């Protein structure tokens, strides 16, 4: 794809989203804007995903707090928290709340165990159930359908941000009922946003690199030369539809426990189809341009040949006229010479036909 010294048209974010989904012929124009604008576009898309995940988490947190308050008041044993350590006063080491009884999924509470093997076993259990939370003595581990893997919340970092160093069961119930609980939502929102943004940004970049390599191999098959950075830019735009399908997938999971087993395969496949279609479209346009250039060259050659023939014909006509003129001049000169010679011989002017 050759670069030309022409002004590069720049598109706004929403127009890029629309063109990335509906007009693959615009990919080359958007890629020409440069790597910086493509990366900025990707960051904006990832920020939208992060905000959706935060809203999902906030909604689940609200439901969890409401259910948790009722559960604490009626069924949960007494507990206390001080200086980053949570202690549940229960004769049983492990308390389990099933998915049916908890809005956030399976809940495992164990404030006595510090064994990593036991903790990993808990993590496997909530990952198998799809979503849930593990309450340990010094941290909480959260898993939901919107997040790949799990997220750890250290009590000192999470609770310390809102200035709380100790509490009991009753103070937690009172706190949930107060307006101060908003600070928890803000803290969770910021934490989830940063984590989700970085995770999805790195994931999207790795997907874009993979698609770029795939696209570069496709250019060899298509026999068209495109710079790798241009393919990378187009790969970012090719991820748009897949990203919005991912957003839709997250939103559906907010209200319905829906799991698509091969979603990641579909995610990459859709983007790859967009990128390959773009490359072959560029190949078609290149062939079309070459055909037009060849046709123009043929017409120019015909015009040049006609001009040469015309010039040659004009030259021949000019030479013919010059010869005729020269012959007339020589004939006149010869006649004048003959008249002079005859006069010299007779001393008289020639008469009749000799005059």
End-to-end C-alpha distance for the chain, whole angstroms: 84
pLDDT at residue 344, as a whole number: 64
Residues 6+ apart with CB under 8 A from 227: 1
Closest CA to 155 of 67, 55, 79: 79
Q: Report residue 141 as tokens.
A: 């581990």
Summarize pLDDT for 236-259 with one digit per residue, the tens.
999 999 889 888 888 887 777 667
Please, are residues 106 and 126 in contact by the beta-carbon 8 Å criterion? yes
* Strongest mean pLDDT among 44-48, 168-172, 244-248: 44-48
Q: Coil, strand, or helix at residue 227?
A: coil
Summarize pLDDT for 125-160 with one digit per residue, the tens.
888 877 888 888 888 888 876 666 778 888 887 777
- What's the DSSP call for residue 80? E
Across the chain, what does the average pLDDT equal?
80
- Mean pLDDT across the stretch 7-33? 84
Q: Answer with the residue of higher pLDDT: 37 or 310.
A: 37
Please, are residues 10 and 40 in contact by the beta-carbon 8 Å criterion? no
pLDDT range class, residue 47, cuts 50, 70, 90: very high
Give kind and range of the element (H or E) at residue 141: strand 139-143
pLDDT range class, residue 213, cuts 50, 70, 90: very high
Task: Indicate whether this model's pTM tops 0.75.
Answer: no
Q: What percent of the chain has pLDDT over 70?
A: 85
**What does the alpha-carbon distance between residue 226 and residue 281 come to, in Å, rounded to a whole number?**
13
From the number of C-beta atoms within 10 Å of its C-beta (0-12, 13-18, 19+), residue 187 rates as middle
**What does the alpha-carbon distance between residue 296 and residue 304 come to, in Å, rounded to a whole number?**
12
pLDDT at residue 101, as a whole number: 66
């Amino acid at each position: 794809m050759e670069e030309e010294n022409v002004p590069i048209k720049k598109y706004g974010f929403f127009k890029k989203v629309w063109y990335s989904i509906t007009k693959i012929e615009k990919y080359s124009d958007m890629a020409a804007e440069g790597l910086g604008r493509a990366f900025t576009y990707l960051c904006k898309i990832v920020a939208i995903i992060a905000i959706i995940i935060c809203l999902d988490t906030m909604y689940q947190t609200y439901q969890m707090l409401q259910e948790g308050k009722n559960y604490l008041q009626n069924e949960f044993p007494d507990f206390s928290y001080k200086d980053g350590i949570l202690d549940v006063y229960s004769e049983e080491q492990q308390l389990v709340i099933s998915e049916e009884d908890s809005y956030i999924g399976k809940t495992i509470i164990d404030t006595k165990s510090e064994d990593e093997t036991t903790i990993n076993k808990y993590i496997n259990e909530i990952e198998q159930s799809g979503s849930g939370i593990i309450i340990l003595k010094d941290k909480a581990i959260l898993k939901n359908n919107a997040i790949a893997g799990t997220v750890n919340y250290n009590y000192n970092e999470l609770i310390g941000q809102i200035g709380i160093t100790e509490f009991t069961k009753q103070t937690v119930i009172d706190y949930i009922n107060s307006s101060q609980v908003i600070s928890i939502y803000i803290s969770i929102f910021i934490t989830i946003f940063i984590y989700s943004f970085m995770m999805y940004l790195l994931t999207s970049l790795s997907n874009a690199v993979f698609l770029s390599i795939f696209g570069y191999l496709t250019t060899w098959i298509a026999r068209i030369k495109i710079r790798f950075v241009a393919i990378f830019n187009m790969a970012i735009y090719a991820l748009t539809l897949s990203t919005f399908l991912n957003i839709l997938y997250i939103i559906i999971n907010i209200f319905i426990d829906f799991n698509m087993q091969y979603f990641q395969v579909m995610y990459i496949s859709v983007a790859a189809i967009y990128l390959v279609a773009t490359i072959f479209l560029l190949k078609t346009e290149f062939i079309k341009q070459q055909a037009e250039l060849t046709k123009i060259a043929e017409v120019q050659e015909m015009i040049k040949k006609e001009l040469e023939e015309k010039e040659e014909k004009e030259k021949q006509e000019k030479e013919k006229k010059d010869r005729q003129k020269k012959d007339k001049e020589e004939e006149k000169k010869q006649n004048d010479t003959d008249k002079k010679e005859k006069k010299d011989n007779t001393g008289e002017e020639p008469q009749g036909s000799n005059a």
